[in-house]
Structure 1
Amino acid sequence: MTRTLTHPRALELLLEAHTFTCLEMLLQKECTLSQLAQKTGLSAGSTLYRIQQLMAYGFVEVAHEEKRSGRAIKHYRTTAEAFYIPFAITSAETAESMCWRMVAPLFQHAMNALLKQARDQNTPLEKGGILFQKDPSGEAQIKMVSENLKSDSTRTASSAHHFHWETLHLTHEQARALNTEMMALLSKYQSLSGPHSYVVFSGLTLDDAK
Structure 2
Amino acid sequence: MDRTLTLHRQEAADALLKPETQRLLAPFVQQPMTAHEAAEMLGMETNALLYPIKRLTALGLLEVTEHRRRAGRPMKVYRATAQVYFVPFASTSEVTLASYLGAAEEQVSAFMRHQMEHLLLQHHQDWGLRFVPGPTGQLHARLALNAETDLDLQPETAVMLNFVHPYLQLDHQDALNLQQEVLEVFQRYTQIRGAQRYVWRLGLLPVVNPDVQI
Q: TM-score, normalised by structure 2?
A: 0.60
Q: Does 1:21 align with 2:9?
A: no
Name which of structure 1's ranges 67-76 and 170-179 shifts more when overlaid on structure 2. Answer: 170-179
The equivalent of 2:128 in structure 1 is 129
**Do the aligned partners of residues 107 and 152 (structure 1) sit closer, same or farther apart at CA in structure 2, a change above 3 Å counting?**
closer
The equivalent of 1:99 in structure 2 is 101
The equivalent of 2:181 in structure 1 is 174
Give the whole-Å Cα distance in 2 for the aligned partners of 1:201 and 1:11: 27
**Do the aligned partners of residues 181 and 17 (structure 1) sit closer, same or farther apart at CA in structure 2, a change above 3 Å counting?**
farther
The equivalent of 1:135 in structure 2 is none
Contact 1:18 1:40 in 2 (8 A): no
Give the whole-Å Cα distance in 2 for the aligned partners of 1:25 and 1:162: 30
Give the whole-Å Cα distance in 2 for the aligned partners of 1:41 and 1:117: 24
What's the RMSD between the two structures over aligned residues?
4.4
Residue identity matched to 1:27: V
The equivalent of 2:57 in structure 1 is 55
The equivalent of 1:208 in structure 2 is 206
The equivalent of 1:38 in structure 2 is 40
Contact 1:60 1:76 in 2 (8 A): yes
Q: TM-score, normalised by structure 1?
A: 0.61
Q: Map residues 131-150 of structure 1 onto 2, 5 A cutoff.
A: 142-143=142-143
Counterpart among 73, 76, 88 of residue 74 in structure 1: 76
Percent of aligned pairs with the same amino acid: 25
Look at both structures and tell me which one has the larger radius of gyration over its CA atoms: 2
Contact 1:17 1:109 in 2 (8 A): no
Give the whole-Å Cα distance in 2 for the aligned partners of 1:142 and 1:68: 60
- Count of aligned pairs between the two proteins: 183
Contact 1:179 1:204 in 2 (8 A): no
The equivalent of 2:9 in structure 1 is 7
Stretches of structure 2 that go unaligned for 5 or more consecutive residues are 132-140, 169-174, 209-214
Structure 1 position 143, deviation (Å): 4.5
